[in-house]
Structure 1
């Protein structure tokens, strides 16, 4: 059974087609990237797959669950990190992550919090109010919140935003190791180099349509960018034409 499968997924906002017949399959253990320009439908896709939005038409399954009919079952089974989301400013990372552990009904929440703070290098700020953390520190806390219950599937919107180069490399290694252990990660990005370096499979979207899928490891440096630009240009010409 695929970790994720969509068939003819559409989302309309008045006259705007945010998604147009999106069909894709993500296998278990994949590190999959939905790659596309800003406004291409990446975030809308994640919001539908995580039960936050209802599609206009089409179907989807996430770990065997329908995110429309069973949104709570999906949310219990996955981890999510939306783009530009911060921990509550009035809580420390420890308090926030312990709350996440309680919601997830984890035993020994302190052990989970300490382990993920160590993995993502923010042990020294566990008891600092989140409002006093840098953007990069807050991003690490939110990454920990997505992974703290060690779900089979994690959705991440722009995983490396606000991280310094050293922490970017650390997070990249963590994502690769997580999938090597048999878990699945679905990330969205508009950075071709992130998709090429991290992922085992890439879907290219433009104007709400899936225009290509590929294994990014088959391309040399720069070649995937050429494919991305060519596919996006071809889709836009087809839409305009």
Structure 2
């Protein structure tokens, strides 16, 4: 069964086409990576699929719901972590996650918060003001917020940003475990190594268009980069390794 389906999904901003005719299917249980240069349409895709923006044309179904006609239903069923999103500076991580738990109607908030703080190793700063946290600590808090209500589908824009190498490996394992339980993850990235190591499926976007799809399992990082360059072109490949 498909967790995400789009047909001809398009978004224009005046004369600029940020996303053009996206037709895509993401099956349940997939760890799907949208790989592309900066400005290629990755963030716009997530905004359309999560009901943050309406498409100019085309349709989408996310966990069986339409993000345009039922944005609240979609929002309730998913987790979201946008790029460069931080907890409010005037709250502690515990206060912020308690707020998220209340909004998400989590039945055992204290237990869930403590569990995610242990998993992502920020229990020691749960009661510190967020304004004093490092970028990596804030990223871990936001990751916990996205998964706190145990959704079936989570969208993450650049999941490993600001994390140190050890924490990156631990987060990778958490994401893989999440999908191994039958859940679905949709992440966007311009890092080839992230897509090659984590994803079960990859869609390559450039200039607002889906130009290729592949199964990266069995491909090395170099092979995926070569495939990317062949589809996008070397001059457009602002993809990091």
Bin of the TM-score, shorter chain as denominator length: over 0.9
CA distance in 1, matches of 2:41, 2:218: 25
Within the alignment, does 1:212 sit opposite 2:184 as a pair?
no
Q: Does 1:18 align with 2:11?
A: no
Partner of 1:239: none
Counterpart of 1:161? 161
On the 8 A contact 2:192/2:221 being kept in 1, the answer is no
Cα offset for 1:220?
2.4
C-alpha contact (below 8 Å) 1:202/1:215 kept by paired residues: yes
Secondary structure of the structure 2 residue equivalent to 1:177: helix
1:37 Cα shift? 0.2
**Where do residues 85-234 of structure 1 align in structure 2 (5 Å cutoff)?**
85-233=85-233
- Is this contact kept in 2: 1:19–1:209, CA < 8 A? yes
TM-score, with normalisation over the residues of structure 2?
Answer: 0.96
* Partner Cα distance (1:225, 1:109) in 2: 42
CA displacement, residues 43-82 of structure 1 (integer Å, 9 cap, x when unaligned): 0000000000000000000000000000000000000000
TM-score (norm 1): 0.96
Superposition CA RMSD, Å: 1.2
Ranges of 4+ aligned residues in structure 1 off by more than 4 Å:
none
C-alpha deviation, 1:221, in angstroms: 3.4
1:56 paired residue number: 56
CA–CA separation in structure 2 for the residues paired with 1:45 and 1:202? 14
Q: What is the Cα deviation at residue 218 of structure 1?
A: 3.1
* Aligned length, in residue pairs: 236
Cα deviation, 1:152-189, whole Å, max 9, x if unaligned, reads: 00000000000000000000000000000010000000
Aligned to 2:71: 71
Distance 1:220 1:52 in 2: 35
C-alpha displacement at 1:234, in angstroms?
Answer: 9.1
Gaps of at least 5 residues in structure 2 are: 237-241
1:234/1:120 CA distance change after superposition, 3 Å:
closer
> What is the alpha-carbon distance in structure 2 between the residues aligned to residue 155 and residue 235 of structure 1?
28
SS of aligned partner of 1:222 = helix
